[in-house]
Chains A and B, each alone.
Chain A
Amino acid sequence: MSAGLLILIKFTLLSGIVLMYVALGGCFSEHSGVINIALEGVMVIGALFGILTLCVLPKSLPGFLIVTISIFVAMLSGIIYSSLLAFASINLKADQTIGGTALNILATAIALVVVKRYNNVINPGSQSPKLTYDNSLFLFKVGPLTLNVFIVLGLILLIASYLVLYKTKFGLHLRACGEHPQAADSVGINVYKMRWAGVLISGGLAGIGGMAYIVPSVQIWNFEVGVGGMGFLALAVMIFGKWHPGYIFLGSLFFAIFKSLANIYDSTFLANFHLTKEIYNMMPFIASLIVLMFTSKNSKAPKAEGIPYDKGMR
């Protein structure tokens, strides 16, 4: 195997899994009828508290515990943060897009305040927006390939998501709420409860996704950049993946390949084209524009998504 191909696989898996977590999250939320455009912000919050936990946990703890606890905190903080969206859009019936956008803006601001304060406590006088941590516990090697725990966990959650959405009573109820909430209500399903469930699950997945984006690849992160648009890219993956876990998996790998080209362009045949790194960095976003142009016409979007449910309206 050539070194270039190996790096391509490594980076594709690295970002593909991230996109998959977050797109699956979006999938749960949208199937319940709530557009979760706050995924980007939820990722930032998940990453922030996951990494902070990683920083503050004593190094004496067993590695397994450190990994589990920090991922759990990332998930939990994602859930808590997305409950703001759930409350605004389900109980207050606010416009979901505006609520989500507000949460996106807020998330980066929260991250900067918390990180700067933390650095200031650790190292008086410091105003650094960066966190430094050790990611070795999350990585393991299979042959020549370096993998991370998020890949394993992600594949498990992928299968679980499929089963939950399509093989369980919960999934049938959840999707009914996104397609035709009045129908769900008329057969005794609590639409508000199901939508809360959908949004909270999406928050948990996006929270883990945020941590999975940052931790495996680097050991220092500048929170001024948030998560660099990965949340929005994940929304595109979700649409491309027709709101279905299987297609979402394939879609994340497809987008991840484009994203990874930026990492290998100088070491493979791509170097012959003499294009700058920026061109390759733009690739996934251009690809998502083109893909959405062609797929949005016959989209499989849940019919009632984005419309606040009001019991009185029939």
Chain B
Amino acid sequence: MADYVIEMLGISKFFPGIKANDNITLQLKRGEIHALLGENGAGKSTLMSVLFGLYQPDEGVIKKDGKVVKINNPNDANDLKIGMVHQHFKLVECYTVLENIILGVEPNTAGFLKLSETREKIINLSNKYGLKIDPDAVVENITVGMQQRVEILKMLYRDNDILIFDEPTAVLTPQEIDELMLIMKKLASEGKSILFISHKLSEIMSVANRCSVLRKGKYIGTVDIKDTTPEDLSTMMVGRKVNLQLEKKEAAPSETVLDVDNLTVSSSSSKKDVVKDVSFNVRRGEIVCIAGIEGNGQTELVQAITGLMKHKNGTIKLCGNDITNDSIRERSKKGISHIPEDRHKHGLVLDYNLAQNMVLQKYREPEFQKFGFIKFDAIKKYAQRLIKQFDVRSGQGVDTIVRSMSGGNQQKAIIAREIDKDPELLIAVQPTRGLDVGAIEYIHKAIIEQRDAGKAVLLVSLELDEVMNLSDRILVMYEGELVGEFKSSEVTTEQLGLFMTGAKKDKVSKEATK
């Protein structure tokens, strides 16, 4: 038994109305990388929060090296040498790397910090595990990859032996992911035990030794990675067979719908140009994807096209009409549908009910109002049809306050509204962010249906798998410029990664796209 360094036996955790964890068992061997797989809301994070002392389990025990332990708070976890890299980094942005690593366990004399000795220890650790960092850099100025290395060093500095990684690859580029995988293997070979939370099957297959699967708060089973396939894992995770490969016909693009010429956009906070002289087009019957690492101008590009942001230079044409100076409402009326990046900020009015949200763009039409008075019955009927057609699930039907709905159903509601407008151009920004496999499958299908119905689709995504699966044509954006254009069938994720990080650049002119 002693080869289990951590055992979580029969753990249950109840929240009002839900069983977040229901009798879950997880056993971690010394020196292994153990993946924890499950959809959103399957209870992975709750289980890890229990192990890290953020929640107390209602039932069950935790054993460390065979002995029962009680973990009341993160300090207890730390004393048991359990450390965690949270999904959203817990770093103080205006502190240096060094200050962040020592925060909470500062070496000091009478309260005064002693930074010089610490620096040496940290540099040694970073060399030992190949975690490149600059101890004096301020965290807000370093890359996400380096921030993650700082988080790992925080655990190593505290001599933690059990390392929890909560969805660590969500924010990384393909190159950084490869690097992280190497680091994790190195840590495991040094005797550290790693719990790796993920819902990306390819990563689990490449790095983990074993994998435990959760579904809807219940424990499904643990498998050895070498005896399993991604298909088996996804079936365990979702509870039914999921088609991992999207079925999609060859695109048959026809005339141009969106035509962007030399578009330049300045950031609203600083005067810098964040979109620089961008030209491209999107045709009927194709899905064009803008790929890139977050913050390279994709958001601003889309906001300039939809009218949420003012542009500085250039023209935007929709079906041959210049819409460069049209208002948001006019653009929407002329046939732009927008599934926004931030569904809470730009997609929904969270404290309105579902029916009201469904007519946010249509309430002015005679169908829904008379002399400025809203026809609530008509709105209700309309919303009921959409809910049925798009399978939007909610507690009280069209009267549900949108805030109380799950992320997947909120997103489905937006998609229902935007697709039902019968647009010329559908712009989808990160349409599956934070959703589970089932919902992702549904949304991908809906987007492909739109393409096949002869709409032009502009997709912006940070998820490379989504980019590769969904799009017909890929444009890579780096520091506000389009630096590469590919047919999705003719490019690999590794190549895309090189363009996304600016390691390679092509000149993209619109002539090539025609």
Contacts from A to B (Cβ < 8 Å): 163, 167-170, 172-173, 175-176, 179-180, 182-189, 300, 303, 314
Contact B103 A172 (CB under 8 A): yes
Interface residues in B71-107 (C-beta closer than 8 Å to A): 73-75, 78, 84, 86, 89-95, 99-100, 103-106
Q: Is there contact, CB below 8 Å, between A170 and B111?
A: yes
Cβ 8 A contact of A168, one of B74, B75, B84, B108: B108
Distance (Å) between the CB of B104 and the closest chain A CB? Answer: 3
Q: Note all chain B residues with C-beta closer than 8 A to A176.
A: 92, 95, 103
Q: How far is the CB of B57 from chain A (nearest CB, A)?
A: 16
Q: Verify B94–A187 contact, CB threshold 8 A.
A: no
Smallest CB-CB A-B distances: 5 pairs? A187-B104, A183-B90, A188-B75, A186-B90, A169-B106
Q: Do A179 and B113 have beta carbons less than 8 Å apart?
A: no
Who on chain A is nearest to B107 by CB? A169
Q: Which residues of chain A come closer than 8 Å to B74, judged between CB atoms? A: 185-188
Q: How far is the CA of A163 from the CA of B75 in the complex (A)?
A: 27
Chain A's closest residue to B108 (CB) is A169
Residues of B within 8 A of A188 (CB): 73-75, 78, 104
Between A and B, 23 residue pairs with Cβ closer than 8 Å are A163-B112, A167-B112, A168-B112, A169-B108, A169-B111, A172-B95, A172-B103, A173-B103, A175-B92, A176-B95, A179-B95, A182-B90, A183-B100, A184-B103, A186-B84, A186-B86, A186-B90, A187-B90, A187-B105, A188-B73, A188-B74, A188-B104, A300-B94
Main secondary structure of the interface of B (DSSP, over half): loop
Measured between C-beta atoms, what is the minimum distance from B226 to chain A in Å? Answer: 35
A172 and B106 contact, Cβ closer than 8 Å, known pairs A167-B112, A188-B75, A188-B78: yes
* Assembled-state Cα–Cα distance A179/B103 (Å): 13
Give the chain A neighbours of B92 by CB distance below 8 A.
Answer: 175-176, 179-180, 183-184
Which residues from chain B contact A180 at a C-beta distance below 8 Å?
90-93
The closest CB in chain B to the CB of A179 belongs to B92
Q: Which residues of the other chain, A, contact B89 by a CB distance below 8 angstroms?
A: 183
Q: Which residues of B contact A (CB under 8 A)?
A: 54, 73-75, 78, 84, 86, 89-95, 99-100, 103-106, 108, 111-113, 154
Contact (Cβ within 8 A) B104 A189? yes
Q: Compute how far the CA of A172 lies from the CA of B108 in the bound complex, rounded to whole angstroms.
A: 12
Chain B residues with Cβ below 8 Å from A185 are 74
Please give me the residue from chain B that is nearest to A182 by CB atom.
B90
Which chain B residues border A183 with CB–CB below 8 Å?
Answer: 89-92, 100, 103
Bound Cα distance from A182 to B95, whole angstroms? 15
A170 to B105, CA, bound (A): 12
Residues of the A chain whose Cβ atoms lie less than 8 Å from the Cβ of B54: 314
Residue of B nearest to A180 (CB): B92
Distance A180 CA – B74 CA, assembled complex (angstroms)? 16
Task: Write out the residue numbers on chain A whose beta carbons fall within 8 Å of the beta carbon of B112.
Answer: 163, 167-169
Best-surrounded residue of A173, A180, A182 (most CB of chain B within 10 A): A180
Q: Which of B54, B74, B78, B104 has the most CB of A within 10 A?
A: B104
| Residue contact B91 to A167, C-beta cutoff 8 Å | no
- Chain A residues with Cβ under 8 A from B73's Cβ? 188
Contacts of B103 in A (CB 8 A): 172-173, 176, 183-184, 187, 189
Q: In the assembly, what is the distance between CA of A173 and CA of B74, in Å?
A: 16
Query: Which of chain A's residues have a CB closer than 8 A to the CB of B86?
Result: 186
Cβ–Cβ < 8 Å partners of A182 in chain B:
90
- From A173, A179, A189, give the contact of B94 (CB < 8 A): A179
Tell me, rounded to whole Å, the shortest Cβ–Cβ distance linking B167 to chain A. 14
Q: Which residue of B lies closest to A166 (CB)?
A: B113
What chain B residues lie within 8 Å of A167 (beta carbons)? 112-113
B213 CB, min distance to chain A CBs, angstroms: 24
- Inter-chain CA distance A188–B53, complex, in Å, is 11
- Min CB distance B401 to A, Å, is 20
For B92, B105, B106, B154, the residue with the greatest tally of chain A CB atoms inside 10 Å of its CB is B92
Q: Chain A residues with Cβ under 8 A from B94's Cβ?
A: 175, 179, 300, 303
The residues of A that contact B93 with a CB separation of less than 8 Å are: 179-180, 303
With A186-B86, A188-B104, A189-B104 known as contacts, the answer to whether A172 contacts B99 (CB < 8 A) is yes
Q: Looking across the interface, which residue of chain B has its beta carbon closest to that of A302?
A: B94
Residues of B near A170 (CB, < 8 A) are: 111
Q: How far does the Cβ of B390 sit from chain A's closest Cβ, in whole Å?
A: 31
Chain B residues with CB under 8 Å of A179's CB are 92-95
Question: A303: which B residues are within 8 A, CB to CB?
Answer: 93-94
Which A residues lie within 8 Å of B84 (CB)?
Answer: 186
Question: Nearest residue in B to A188 (C-beta to C-beta)?
Answer: B75
Q: How far is the CB of B164 from chain A (nearest CB, A)?
A: 12
Chain B nearest CB, measured from A77 CB (Å) = 27
Q: How far is the CA of A189 from the CA of B90 in the complex (A)?
A: 13
Are the C-beta atoms of A169 and B90 separated by less than 8 Å? no
Report the bound CA distance from A18 to B237 in whole Å: 64
Q: How far, in angstroms, from A179 to B75 measured CA to CA in the complex?
A: 21
Give chain B residues whose Cβ lies under 8 Å from the Cβ of A184: 92, 103-104
Residue on A with the closest CB to B87?
A: A314
Of chain B, the residue at the smallest CB distance from A176 is B92
User: Min CB distance, A53 to chain B, in Å?
Assistant: 31
Give Cα distance in the complex from A60 to B351, angstroms: 68
Chain B residues whose C-beta falls within 8 Å of the C-beta of A314 in the assembled complex: 54
Complex CA gap A179/B100 in Å reads 12
Expressed in whole angstroms, the Cα–Cα distance for A94 and B111 within the complex equals: 32
C-alpha spacing A173/B113, complex, angstroms: 11
Q: Chain A nearest CB: distance from B271 CB in Å?
A: 12
CA distance A184 to B95 in the complex (A): 12
| Given A180-B92, A183-B100, A187-B90, 12 more pairs with CB closer than 8 A | A169-B111, A169-B113, A170-B111, A172-B99, A175-B92, A175-B95, A176-B95, A183-B103, A184-B104, A187-B103, A187-B105, A188-B104
